[in-house]
Structure 1
């Protein structure tokens, strides 16, 4: 046989080995010194020769299995000086070992190779969050089974490992800066900021992309901020600024990787956040009860109202009430049903103070009742000092968009945890965060599509509702229509002994009686008055 190049001869030998069921390798090649062109080369069976004796063999507990059998199978090619091609000059085809079956030939190393197209598909699946095993199974199905796929799951994982090593060639910090520079090249509006420590090491990292800047300009009146641990290799706190859009969908306004949760770190973060967003301060910002964070907010967000997450407060209330129950149960093992009911009522009363009471006097009376029921009052005293940040009666003039907690931030964090692993390097961390943000933006587009496709259902064909249905998004219109219906079933009743009127607003049932009551003087006052009539 003759071949135009040595590469063509090698590819033939690889193909021949795959058909017959033996591994192949290159034995040697001789090159001319003048131009470096190959004069002759030999391709052999992988079982050719013997493994060199290892002086440490007597120390090895589990030595590797022997694979060399001194097989003489080979193909030698030499350069034809006249024609300029290569011809077979030496050939031995008799093996001295067992050959592979056709069903196992695809597992031989010489037959396994990831093509450029397969590499692209592997990288795409990884970027989409598909694990190596699932991606490999998908590739096998596409070609009709693993026998037709020229790579194994191990090759798949090795390819990804090599890709990540290339991405991290400049180290964690250098690779992150290169990633941010690529983002700026894609869109110059992308911004990032770094804070260095005393040793010139990167401590805190904040970044926003172009859409985050635009979204905050339109919907940054109410912001939720929360941090979470364990989503990156160094277990550094990761935080996101989030809010609502006109469809009540979650929007991300910025993200940060912190070195620690100290006052200095939070102060730098909030100042950097405002600088990125042209100094626009939110009207309301919700956080948890972190004292360092609260101190930094008070220093930086001078025009914002700071609210505490009601979910975290309620969790702390449950914890302290549970401690109370444990102590009492240990002192008196036999508790009566009345005692248990009283302990449970503390949480119900506290929840009412948080969400129901709109009158400050009623709130104070109810909180005094809670104090009387609880034997441990240290936590109640501490939470009472910041009642303006969580009690309904002190939030009448606060613009909240219905937000009372950092649930939006925690929702984003929970989605991040589904995709993140603690051993992620910084580049994979950033890539997967961007994928979660894209999911949120996809939800926004879906909501936009549905709002343009579906006509809102108007219960009462009044001019105001007709106009509102054309201006508001569906979810906002539903909320407006519910308030409008409540206003239509309002009635006024004169109170005895004065010229004042009581306004009761509720929803009429089929018997034309009021359901749940909504009013401005407090539920208990209304029920105790007794001097009202339904219309």
Structure 2
């Protein structure tokens, strides 16, 4: 990429453009008469424009379609990759600690910083993940409980399943917390990296902040809760009841998996709550309130 900026009198950036390195007309270089070659310019119009507004640079134009083939494997030859800033070094070190190999080239890398400029959140997606999403992005799972590193930053992967039944990474982030603001940043960043094409269905845990954000960022996407996460909590939430091992657990599993219709589930749930005196159990009350997100009969 090539960078052009215009500055104010106080030396702050007023306007900035990031353009493809192949912008401009092709010219023959004749410095080497024996082996003349083109400069590689193709008049490519891919670029990002940003204009200062309210003290911050805001994107005004995004054109990410190139008129030439791209070669990610040759990216280390490009001029803008000859130097690595301190911020990117910190990102790469964080990726390394998260188990991401350094020899992976990232198609997109977005860093979120706090007001003091310190690294706060990181998101990346590589060209292979972006290509895989075009084919296998119908149903995506998102799970921040997969891994937490020693710095307490949850690892947040977007995962799909290919036609061989294998899990495939569609993007991932390291986030500083699991609140609404961070999830908005993460989901919007991922959506931009996948060309604005939202998944048809996304499966997550029961995080309330995440539920609200998905309704905002992916307004037309069906949101469902991961049944494995829910049932994994059953022993912790219900094992204190004396009837847990003598029938309650099996009854719950039966009603969840075997109910063939909404009416059948509703009847069975009332039966379960009444039979085992579970009217005061807040966890079951919350599950029932969100039953359309996880009960098979509703799906």
Which position in structure 1 is the counterpart of 2:237? 320
Map 1:428-447 → 2, pairs under 5 A: none
Which position in structure 1 is the counterpart of 2:19? none
Ranges in structure 1 where 5+ consecutive residues have no aligned partner:
1-168, 326-339, 396-535
Which position in structure 1 is the counterpart of 2:287? 383
Which position in structure 1 is the counterpart of 2:193? 276
Deviation of the 1:281 alpha carbon:
1.0
Which position in structure 2 is the counterpart of 1:237? 154
**TM-score normalized by the length of structure 1:** 0.36
Work out whether 1:350 is the aligned partner of 2:252.
Answer: yes
Does the 8 Å CA contact 1:321/1:343 hold for their aligned counterparts? Answer: no
Shift in alpha-carbon separation, 1:190–1:170, aligned structure 2, 3 A = closer
Deviation of the 1:293 alpha carbon:
1.4
Ranges in structure 2 where 5+ consecutive residues have no aligned partner:
1-83, 96-100
Does the 8 Å CA contact 1:371/1:377 hold for their aligned counterparts? Answer: no
Does the 8 Å CA contact 1:266/1:293 hold for their aligned counterparts? Answer: yes
Map 1:278-293 → 2, pairs under 5 A: 278-293=195-210
User: What is the number of equivalent residue pairs in this alignment?
Assistant: 208
Work out whether 1:267 is the aligned partner of 2:170.
Answer: no
Map 1:449-528 → 2, pairs under 5 A: none
Task: Give me the whole-angstrom Cα distance separating, in 1, the residues matched to 2:104 and 2:285.
Answer: 53
Of the candidates 92, 98, 110, which is equivalent to residue 193 of structure 1?
A: 110
Does the 8 Å CA contact 2:223/2:293 hold for their aligned counterparts? Answer: yes
Deviation of the 1:231 alpha carbon:
4.4
Deviation of the 1:191 alpha carbon:
0.3
Which position in structure 2 is the counterpart of 1:21? none
Which position in structure 2 is the counterpart of 1:394? 298
Shift in alpha-carbon separation, 1:394–1:303, aligned structure 2, 3 A = same
Which position in structure 1 is the counterpart of 2:265? 363
Higher relative contact order (CA 8 A, sep 6+): 1
Which position in structure 2 is the counterpart of 1:374? 277
Shift in alpha-carbon separation, 1:229–1:286, aligned structure 2, 3 A = closer
Does the 8 Å CA contact 1:285/1:305 hold for their aligned counterparts? Answer: yes
Deviation of the 1:285 alpha carbon:
0.8
The ranges of structure 1 where at least 4 consecutive aligned residues each deviate by more than 6 angstroms after the TM superposition are none
Deviation of the 1:175 alpha carbon:
1.2
Of the candidates 198, 214, 231, which is equivalent to residue 131 of structure 2?
A: 214
Shift in alpha-carbon separation, 1:322–1:233, aligned structure 2, 3 A = closer
Q: SS where residue 306 of structure 1 aligns?
A: strand
Q: SS where residue 159 of structure 2 aligns?
A: strand
CA RMSD of aligned residues (A): 2.7
Deviation of the 1:194 alpha carbon:
1.4
Task: Give me the whole-angstrom Cα distance separating, in 1, the residues matched to 2:245 and 2:287.
Answer: 19
Does the 8 Å CA contact 2:91/2:122 hold for their aligned counterparts? Answer: no
Does the 8 Å CA contact 2:152/2:176 hold for their aligned counterparts? Answer: no
Task: Give me the whole-angstrom Cα distance separating, in 1, the residues matched to 2:238 and 2:104.
Answer: 53
Which position in structure 1 is the counterpart of 2:75? none
Shift in alpha-carbon separation, 1:186–1:348, aligned structure 2, 3 A = closer
Q: Deviations over 1:449-471 (max 9, x none)?
A: xxxxxxxxxxxxxxxxxxxxxxx
Shift in alpha-carbon separation, 1:313–1:228, aligned structure 2, 3 A = closer
Which position in structure 1 is the counterpart of 2:18? none
**TM-score normalized by the length of structure 2:** 0.63
Task: Give me the whole-angstrom Cα distance separating, in 2, the residues matched to 1:262 and 1:296.
Answer: 10
Does the 8 Å CA contact 1:229/1:236 hold for their aligned counterparts? Answer: no
Q: SS where residue 203 of structure 1 aligns?
A: strand
Task: Give me the whole-angstrom Cα distance separating, in 2, the residues matched to 1:174 and 1:296.
Answer: 28
